[in-house]
Structure 1
Amino acid sequence: MGRYTVISADCHAGADLLDYRDYLEPAFRDEFDSWAAAYVNPFADLADADAERNWDSDRRNADLDIEGVAGEVIYPNTIPPFFPSSSLAAVPPETARELELRCAGLRAHNRWLADFCSLSPQRRAGVGQVMLQDLDHAVDEVKQIAALGLRGGVLLPGIPPGAGIPQLYAEHWEPLWVACAEAGVVINHHGGNAGPSPLDGWGSSFAIWVYETHWFAHRALWHLIFSGAMDRHPDLTVVFTEQGAGWIPATLDSLDVAAARYAREGSAIARFAGPTAGSLSLKPSEFWNRQCYVGASFMRPVECAERHTIGIDRIMWGSDYPHLEGTGTFTREALRYTFSGVPPQEVAAMLGGNAAAVYGFDLAALQPLADSIGPTVAEVAEPLTAVPAGASSTVFEPDPIRTW
């Protein structure tokens, strides 16, 4: 093993706004023209010259080649049709027509993404999107995501408080879990989309959002466990991406304690837990070990130190390309910073082997590319003695304690 086959489990892409038009059903195109003409992009990074990294296939592959990344799992980034902002963090629609339009916009994105992945099929696994405000649409689109060959699976949106639809633990969502299980798609839950909007006018609101956003994303883990969804559907695979990794050991310990209390016959707490949470066939930590993974974006050394407790076979490193907080143009340095001193077989699993197994990458097909661009085992093993000048990624921030 001279070089690692690196697969980023967290990258982002999307079409340039007007390029979505041809992917919409014809009935929505005139309304799209009016909407797009008046739309003002709220994100500076989607308006500058480097925004092309989201949709320029050759530019993207060239960037990833330099960083030594052979494969990528692609989450959304640009603005889909009829959304006020990124679909990951958009406020819920307020009217039935707005919901209909956004569903059409996500269908257009999924079609575009399938075409984009087809330009480099061995390297790309696209994650399709659904709208939970319309359960029938979500179920139908899960089937379409599978039919489109988006082997990244489905992005499970978060449900902020006050969203007007049931939380993920509700029996309401059983048709969605059935559809995902029958289609064999991975369920992905990405950080940053489950908490209340920070845009309430108060100066401290964004700081509060940043502090709390990971916790709101983590909630999906215990919602899917205590509702029995993972128990009823043992073949479901659930990935928790870009929400830290250091939170997992303590959370699993806490969930195991709670589950034991819920199952203790005659206990006071069991009377409130309900029959499902009190009769799980496995401990929460065992569901994690059987069905769950972490998309460990820009993983830090303090998180890597927890790898045996999290599960080396559960960790999938991610670069977060093309985001500022990701490893950016310093991916090779970031890998040295986090993984020097770690046995090569463990590094190989976390950097690519686990993602290949979860998302269906063909390692043999990627091998020639990895042999050409991948970081060498010796390179990653060399400790990084100084943070490179100009590196902005949060991976390099000093952090003596466990991260989120």
Structure 2
Amino acid sequence: MDADAIETTFPRIISVDDHTVEPPNVWRDRLPSKYHDTAPRIVRAPLESISYVGGRFAPRMGAPGDGGPLADWWVYEELRRPLTRLDTAVGYSRDEVRLEAITYEQMRPGSYSVPERLADMDVNHVQSSLCFPSFPRFCGQTFTEAKDHDLGLLCLRAYNDWMVEEWCGPAAQGRLIPLTLIPLWDARLAAAEVHRSAARGVRAVCFSEIPPNLGLPSIHSDDWDPFLRACEETGTVIAMHIGSSSRMPSTSADAPAAVGSTITFANCCFSMVDWLMSGKFDRFPGLKIMYAEGQIGWIPYILERADVVWEENRGWGGVADKVLRPPSELFSEHVYGCFFDDAFGLRNLDAIGAGNVLYETDYPHSDSTWPKSREVGEAQMAHLSPDVVERIVRTNAIELLGLTADGLFARP
């Protein structure tokens, strides 16, 4: 297939990893007034300092009247988290994207506004988009780490209501696909929230790539079974974003951010081996999981190594009685890798499987290929047949997320 052919036929993209920056009123509009001073809220205040070293993000809010640059901060319990340029970098040159705190007026409106988001999707040849959170973090760690879990549950449900009713509401025209949160601190409550969301047409939920990093049980335990059962019963996909364990890969406390940015896939790699060796896919054969922003080039070797270990070491490796088939077979039936820029992975697609790969644009983050996601896809998929390109860019997402044949979210 030559470049001229793909230029005229490249499908409208269904991006399975973008992000929303929550508007300031998400929780104020959806919680009783008695919580307005304790639920998440925006405060404009100076920035005293900000750093991102060794995989750790460390901002400090200044006092009123300090001379630092003004930023909009989410305030919740003891948490003070500013909006940053890394939250919404599209529209800026790479050299202009720095670690700095900003206000809503300093970000691209498509980051938080539905009409502007749809317009930016049109510019980027994107039809539909699944969006991960910002302030709640990639799997709702903000509410999991809160002291008051009763209020945290109200806040989490309010976010899910906003996601379904407003972000993915009528104004989105079915082009924004809902992705909801669960209360990670209680698997039974999580199961209930999965069922509540599924009744509204939601078919994807956020989860942590490595739960023990959040002080939670590992996937090898039985603690998550109520949640996993609910996902299987409802056809809900478990979506894990890089960083959803609150620890981005790094090598040392003083490693520059570029080290972690190069190896962001590592947590996905560790997580996928956990799942493949957990026995969960044999116990819950309907489960589907996906790794957002993890890229795909690393997958072939991990599958090869996992199969060797399963074949040669399962007698003493603790998996003989629970992992009943080669891990590569389990991967083929249950796991999806997501990429936005991975020419190497696409050159090795036969070792991964075209049915296990999804495309994304990562709007509006600094890694985003916006507004050139089509051009990136055309260049990197030019060697693939049209039906394979269609599968990667659209069909896999339609089938996995229960979209209409036209690639849209439809309410029940």
TM-score (ref. length: structure 1): 0.77
Deviation at 1:277, TM superposition (A): 4.4
Structure 2 equivalent of residue 114 of structure 1: 164
Separation of aligned partners in 2, 1:90 and 1:197: 14
**Mean CA deviation greater in 32-41 or 54-63:** 32-41
Aligned to 1:352: 394
Q: 1:203-248 CA deviation, whole Å, 9 max, x = no partner?
A: 3264554455422233222222222111111111111111110111
Matching residue within 301, 305, 326 for 1:283: 326
Report how far residue 180 of structure 1 moved: 0.9
Gaps of 5+ in 2: 1-7, 45-72, 88-102
Q: Report the counterpart of residue 314 of structure 1 in structure 2.
A: 356
Tell me how far 1:361 sits from its aligned partner.
Answer: 2.0
Q: Is the 8 A contact 1:236 1:291 kept in 2?
A: yes
1:392-403 residue pairs with structure 2 within 5 A? none
Equivalents in 1 of 2:142, 2:112: separation in Å? Answer: 25
Q: Which residue of 1 aligns with 2:35?
A: 28
Q: 1:209 to 1:137 in 2, by over 3 A?
A: farther
* Residue pair 2:297, 2:344 contacting (<8 A) in 1 also: yes
* 1:43 partnered with 2:83: yes
AA of the residue aligned to 2:128: G
For 1:197 and 1:346, how far apart are their aligned partners in 2? 32
Alignment of 1:185 with 2:201, yes or no, is no
Distance 2:387 2:213 in 1: 45
How many angstroms apart in 2 are the aligned matches of 1:162 and 1:365? 35
> How much is the aligned-residue C-alpha RMSD, in angstroms?
2.9
Q: Which residue of 1 aligns with 2:155?
A: 105
Query: Matches of 2:32 and 2:248 in 1, distance apart?
Result: 30
**Residues 193, 162 of structure 1: alpha-carbon distance in 2 compared, 3 angstrom cutoff:** closer
CA contact (8 A) 2:337 2:358 kept: yes
Aligned partner of residue 101 in structure 1, secondary structure: helix
**1:74·1:125 contact (CA, 8 Å) conserved in 2?**
yes
Q: C-alpha displacement at 1:251, in angstroms?
A: 0.5
Q: Which runs of 5+ in 1 are unaligned?
A: 81-85, 264-269, 367-404
| Structure 1, 125-134 or 189-198: larger mean CA deviation | 189-198
363, 367, 392: which one aligns with 1:325: 367
In 1, Cα distance between the equivalents of 2:140 and 2:180?
15
Rounded Cα–Cα distance in structure 1 between residues aligned with 2:120 and 2:239: 25
The equivalent position to 1:141 in structure 2, one of 193, 218, 224, is 193
Q: Which has the higher strand share?
A: 2
Using the TM superposition, give the Cα deviation of residue 44 of structure 1 relative to its aligned residue in structure 2, in angstroms.
2.1
2:120 to 51, 60, 63: 63
Distance 2:146 2:406 in 1: 49
Q: Distance in 2 between matches of 1:341 and 1:93?
A: 44
Structure 2 contact 194–205 (Cα < 8 Å) conserved = yes
Residue 258 of structure 1 and its aligned partner are, at CA, apart by 1.4
Where is the helix percentage greater, Structure 1 or Structure 2?
1
Amino acid at match of 2:31: L
CA contact (8 A) 1:130 1:155 kept: yes
Aligned length: 349
Q: Percent identity?
A: 26
